[in-house]
Amino acid sequence: MEKHYSLLKAAGLLGVTTQTLRNWDNAGKLRTIRTPGNQRRVPESEIVRLSGGTVDITTENKQKPQRLTVEKQEKPVIPEEITEIPAINIKREDNFLLMCKDTAVYDIAQKAVLNEKLLPGCMLKNTMDYNQWVKTRYAEQTNFSAQNIIRNTFEKNNYDHIINTTRALSLSDSYWIKKHDEEVLFDEVSPYINFNQHANLFVSGKTDKKWLDSHTILKINAFREFEPYLLCEALGLKNVTEAQAAEEGMMLSNFTSPDLFYESMEQYGTTEEDPRDFMIEKYKEQAVALFVIDYLVENNDRHPDDYGFLRNSATGEYVLMAPYHNFDWAWSGDVIALPESALRGYKGYIHELCRWVIDIASDFEYGTIIERRASELLRE
């Protein structure tokens, strides 16, 4: 009997997306069968035909779907000790500056604002002072990869020592600290340009994750989280982090750069009762779509540090809504109700998305859940 593959497995074997396979099927370029649950299945002979016989499918588990093997890349191993620490040996009497790239933003000792436009939003709004803000950058009691580096390098969780030694550098924004009279530039210390494992000290969240290089972060064992990204792709949503499955979990592309950095709603300093209302007012359907996807995939832990903005590191301007990322709590069995502002102002858009979702739900592993949640929203 001929073997049949799900769209996800077939797409991985052929090196294309699941949406491409749907398009081929609809255009008659791909022969599929339907299961009793109306899910598409691709016959083995079709995979052989489309690949020109180049895909080896002699065993079921020979190749996992859409998963790049991270070992094939230049994957840095977390060292037992980091030797090249850009230490600045902070002393209590020294004066230091908070920098955004090569612009001085804040005099830490004097508590003086030097460039208001480039301040972290929470400092500008006085919802956090400098000490509170800088501590949020440190991966204290969070993911294993960061804690492993902390233990091996710093011996104990002394966040002042860690922040000072690493200059508070991060791979999501352009903030760092230096002495008043120190002749050093951002390009000389930035992990964007001179990648090192210090970037992993500033990767927060409970799930284990680490930067492989300045372009790619690996979320370890995040297999269940991958399907929300496939759903966004199938719906044609553009504002989504590029995701790719890997043997160890899932890889996400860095959507920031030295010129355009990320600031979460938490770092922005929101004071709204429901910060999602603010995002909907500012970004309209683009924000509504994120919260609808959360509902459809039962991602019930969307906090203000999981969405936000991209800022211009030269002007401080809030340029764009940050791409959708972090579906850690997908398939939780529970949902967060959509904000009333979304239901009042964008009901037609929400229903359009949900009707589309129901049409394609059968192609997804969690399609039954997706369809049920979409039907709930259609009744709103």
Domain boundary assignment for the chain: 4-66, 96-202, 215-378
pLDDT value at position 56? 63
pLDDT tens readout for residues 324-356: 999 999 999 999 999 999 999 999 999 999 999
Q: Report d(CA 40, CA 364) in Å as an integer.
A: 9
Residue closest to 346 by CA, chosen among 301, 279, 271, 300: 279
In this structure, the number of other CB atoms found within 10 A of the CB of residue 33 comes to 12
For the record, the structure tokens of 101 come out as 């790239």
Residue closest to 136 by CA, chosen among 153, 123, 148, 149: 123
In this structure, the number of other CB atoms found within 10 A of the CB of residue 196 comes to 18
In the block, tokens 């991602």 appear at 299
Angle at 89 between CA 85 and CA 91, to 5 degrees: 160
User: Confidence band (pLDDT; 50, 70, 90) for 67?
Assistant: very low
Does the structure show a pLDDT above 60 at 196?
yes
Cα within 13 Å of Cα(191), Cβ side: 29
181 in Cβ contact with 161 (< 8 Å): no
pLDDT value at position 254? 96
For residues 217 and 202, the model is more confident at: 217
Q: Report d(CA 250, CA 219) in Å as an integer.
A: 5
* Window from 54-63, 89-98, 183-192, 262-271 with minimum mean pLDDT: 54-63
* Window from 33-42, 57-66, 252-261, 337-346 with minimum mean pLDDT: 57-66
As to burial, measured by CB atoms within 10 angstroms (0-12 exposed, 13-18 middle, 19+ buried), residue 344 is exposed
pLDDT value at position 174? 95
Q: Report d(CA 278, CA 318) in Å as an integer.
A: 14
In the block, tokens 């920031």 appear at 256
In the block, tokens 């939003």 appear at 121
Correct CATH for 4-66 of 1.10.1660.10, 3.30.1490.190, 3.40.50.720, 3.10.310.30 = 1.10.1660.10
For residues 21 and 302, the model is more confident at: 302
Phi, psi (deg, nearest 5) at residue 190:
-70, 135
User: Confidence band (pLDDT; 50, 70, 90) for 83?
Assistant: very low
* Window from 263-272, 293-302, 312-321 with minimum mean pLDDT: 263-272
pLDDT value at position 137? 85
pLDDT (mean) for 123-151: 85
pLDDT value at position 58? 54
Phi, psi (deg, nearest 5) at residue 334:
-140, 165
Does the structure show a pLDDT above 90 at 42?
no
Element (DSSP H or E) covering residue 252: strand 249-253
Give strand pairing partners of 107.
97, 112
Does the structure show a pLDDT above 90 at 94?
no
For residues 197 and 329, the model is more confident at: 329
Q: Report d(CA 90, CA 149) in Å as an integer.
A: 21
Does the structure show a pLDDT above 50 at 197?
yes
User: Confidence band (pLDDT; 50, 70, 90) for 264?
Assistant: very high
pLDDT (mean) for 294-323: 96
For residues 113 and 60, the model is more confident at: 113
User: Confidence band (pLDDT; 50, 70, 90) for 300?
Assistant: very high
Q: What is the pTM of this model?
A: 0.78
Does the structure show a pLDDT above 70 at 282?
yes
Percentage of the chain modeled with pLDDT above 90: 56
299 in Cβ contact with 207 (< 8 Å): no
In the block, tokens 């509504």 appear at 288
190 in Cβ contact with 201 (< 8 Å): no
Mean pLDDT of the residues in the chain: 85
User: Confidence band (pLDDT; 50, 70, 90) for 90?
Assistant: low
